[in-house]
Structure 1
Amino acid sequence: MATKCTRQLLSDVNSCDLPDFIKKLVNKICDFYDEQDYIDVTFKLSNPIAMIPAHRLILSAASPYFNDLFKSEHGLAPVIELNDIDSDTFERLMTFCYTGKTLITIENVDLMLKAAMVLQLCDAVLSCVDYILEHITEYTLKRAYDLERETQCIQLYEKLLKYEIENFIEVSQSAEFLNFSTEKLQAIIEADNLNVSCEQDAFRAIKRWYEYDASARQKELPVLIDCLRLTQLDVCFLMENVQTLPGCEVLALRALSWIGFPSARSKVSLKFSAARENVCNKPVLLAVQVSENLSFRGRSTGVVTNIFQYDKAEDEWHKYADIGTSDWKHYGLELFDNSLMFIGGTCGGIEVNTVKSWSFTTKTWITLPPMVWPRSFPVVLSLNKSIYAIGGEYAASVEMYSPVSGWRCVSNMSSQRYSAGAVVHDGKIFIMGGWDGRSSLKSVERYDPSLNSWTKCADMNAVRRCPAVAVHNGCIYVLGGGSEIVERYDPQSNKWTKICSLSVSCNAMACVSMDDQLWAIGGNTTNSVSVYNAERDEWIEKKKLPAPVGGSYFCYVVPKMLLKN
């Protein structure tokens, strides 16, 4: 049998606030099923052949499929043969009829979903769909889309749509995105809660989708562009990018009129004239500075972590918070689930596997499960609702953390490295540079979580230790790390190109893409901030951070709502 005892699945029923009579009743019914007492129907299934007993009353209450079956002439027989479902899957769903739970795995979830749809077990369908989305990294988006197309499961479509809206940037860079139907993409772009840092993100995604098959999609392009909040794009962007698209000239002119002539807005016809309703989509740039607090004799008195917030309207930086981490340092840092995750590092000179998070919501620290291995100077980043801790001093190993399953090791890199740079692009992790214990590196590797494997990519032009890395307009930019050279990597051609150098080059810088601009922030010898102008291939200096010079920097684009608490 798929489940030897249904009682083991009833912990929630027995622990919840239900009358004792109901708990006893449910437990007794499960006893009848396990002991095969009062059985009044048996199902014969194949693959492999099995005889599975059950109670008509329970199954009729659980599913309209069984209710209709037992009222039919075919359903009156003591033994009913079913040919469309394998015996193991059917028995697991029988368990679900009695307990509301069953064992779902990556391997069986497709069959479970299909069978649950046939048997009209709506709650089981939802359990399968929830399992797929909770394990989407292992399951993969491609497999989910294939299953949705095959089954036409409405619940899976709706959950995927929600996932696509919440993880739009990541999804829009995937290969599957290029095959979305016009109707599907329109439903995503229209969403008021679309998770983009700015409207340009949504525009670039539409353009990428369109250019994949321009001749066939030209008619649909204006429909999708009309779903954008065009009034949130600036005049130059509208003229240079929207107005030049086939069939979008009138839409661009309407948006330009709405922006340029406020008094005439009532006469301008636009599908969406206001910004997206969810305030949380408005992006805010944060810079995190980690530095040692030195006494007047130059001795370290602890590590200080300052968080600075950039005010775009004022073109000023303001201190948002000051959080101390005592003598804990050399950790990896990442923004995850509305918190800053501090991972690994050293404490008192000893390498640790400690993991803590500082919540923006509660302004408090939480200790999380430790890593499998201690790591100092690891690379830390998030992908598909999981955290990856990569490398560390004299380490090539990699671990992955999810709130559901904790930490587990995945495939090692081809070589050890620490103080490296890394970024997520198109659902894959790119790691570059760092130190292998002997020398600085210029090598680059790519990790594919769906294959759990690393692939070597083209080397950078310069060796780098503690470089800053960011994805910007479909390419990967690398700067600092001991070199004045700034490089741009095209994943499609696997080639690096040198661009304009920064006036200040140092280690431990940070860079990030926001508002269609590439920002370079701080470093171990500066507190300067620069923005890259691609048209003129030059860096423009912005307001400096109001922080002491030095330290290590991390930067993030966060929703404005996150900082309101």
Structure 2
Amino acid sequence: MSDKSKRSWKTKIKRGERSDVGNTLDSKRLLDSSEMENESGGNSCRCSSTSRHATDVLRSMAEMWKQKQLNDVVLVVGKHRFGAHKLVLAACSGYFRRIFAENSALESEAENQFVCTLHGISYRAVEALLESMYMARLNVDGQNVEELLHASHYLQVPFALNVCSEHIKRNLTVESCLRTLALVSNLELVDLEETTLKLAAETFSKVSDLEDFLLLPYEPLKKLLCRDDIIVDSELQVFKALVKWMEYDRRRRTSHSVSLLECVRLPMIKPCDIVDHVEPVAFLMNIAECEALVKEALHYHCLPLRQSILQSSRTTPRSIIKMSTVVTLGGHPRRSKDSVSKTVRYFNPDSKEWRYLTEMGHPLHHHAVAVLGGFLYVAGGRHTTDRTEHPTDRAHRYDPRTNSWIEIASMKNKRESFQLGVLDGMLYAVGGRIDDSTSLADVEKYNPYTDKWETISPLSDPRRSVAVATHNGRLYAMGGSGNRRISNKVERYNPKTKKWETKRPLSTPRFFALLVSASKNLFLAGGATVDQSGNLQCVDKVERYECLTDTWTSLANMLTPRAEAACTVHDGKIYVVGGYSWDSNTWLDSVECYDTAKDEWTVMKSIPKPYTGIACCTLVLHKLP
């Protein structure tokens, strides 16, 4: 091409005139849709593409497709043939991108044009998907949604998959959800499958009576039966629905008996219903593994005190609620004439408020709590504000699934101002006091299997108000007071050797401190000590103990120094509740939270009344008042 011809061609483009190259392109429209910036004295420019530019390019490609210009691939579906552009197909379809990149399964039909034969999808779906690639629209209705969904999944067309999924969601009903579940179960459409499963779970009583339930394939049925949010009056309904599904085609479905029966929460069925309705199903009871599951459920009911160590996925109740939250129990009031609290409250993370959950059988303060197997254990403490009263040795267990209490074996020692630790499925009561003058070095271990407390190796000396926590298979006891001395001792119990080891002591002796395991370390906060004048004062210092190196690191101080408070870890953060300030001689209702990642404290919603000797823990709730 001569220089004159080149100048003539450039002039045509600048003026927006049609050239002999690409006669469907409007070059002026393309230039107008870009932001132009002059550089180097105006001899060059930089174009910044806009969404309009992309739209114009797609429109031009669609025009060429309609006019069958520059096609370089032919799609064959049965006797139907569709011309297209490889670049467009590869941009819109993961399937074609892979095929073209590998340059396989393609046969040359003519120069620079290839043929690709598609199997297992309809020509109508391919035609609609091709149009959607070029026109950015897809018409979906009840008649074509299934074949479009199948084709768009086969060809990996995200745009079409999203359109089909949204159409199905908008039109999902109780009557259609099981058919939809069967349709999408193998398509890896996680969001659509979850929406469908959620509706089926919410309406399980209805959908389990539909014929579509009997036609469900094994995999989607198992996903449904495993859900925690199935709404039924009784787990027996789930069992009966499964039996009905099995009996619809027992010969083919018996092989799934064990894996599906494992999804049924048999321990949540009343013992009388197990005897009357589960055991009589002979074809299940003739399978050894199924019989073992039924026996497991009966044992769970027969041995209620062992339930905390018999927990499994089958002992979790069906519920739309599964709230892990901070729970407080009891407490000593500010005025001695006021009643000791027996109220159990929980912190609602949505409303940011403390709300009533239940009540203990007796009011308690300076008691100890622990959570084992999802059950809340409460032990020791005192019932009244009368200082001459001895603490109790009684212990109880709370079941948040049924909102019920049961008494377990009493401790060997009456004690208050102590802590419970959980280690290897057992509870450890460490130290404490019998009265104002008598502290305990005794440590005892509770075994839920035998419902007995057993005395183990004691602390090195008698101490009350010891901070206790478990970490990496060891039980730690720090600080405390006894024999008119405040301790800085750090001791660690090894359950294998059954002995206590001495570790690096506290930099500040303290009692009524708070110890928790969080973020791979132990954190010690608060408590009280004696100043140089011999006066009690609260410790605002917070320290992190690194067990592997036996070292301490100082952290951000508490906002309100306190003793006789409660502490727990929830969602990686440390919550400190209530307590007493020796600095201001004040009962506290304030709550503060420590972020271990940010090393900072924040103020939370206060509890309704100020208490000392309050207890708290983190508990999963399955029902609310």
TM-score grouping bracket, smaller chain normalisation = 0.3 to 0.5
* TM-score of the aligned structures, taking structure 2 as reference length: 0.43
Question: Quick check: which has more Rg, 1 or 2?
Answer: 2
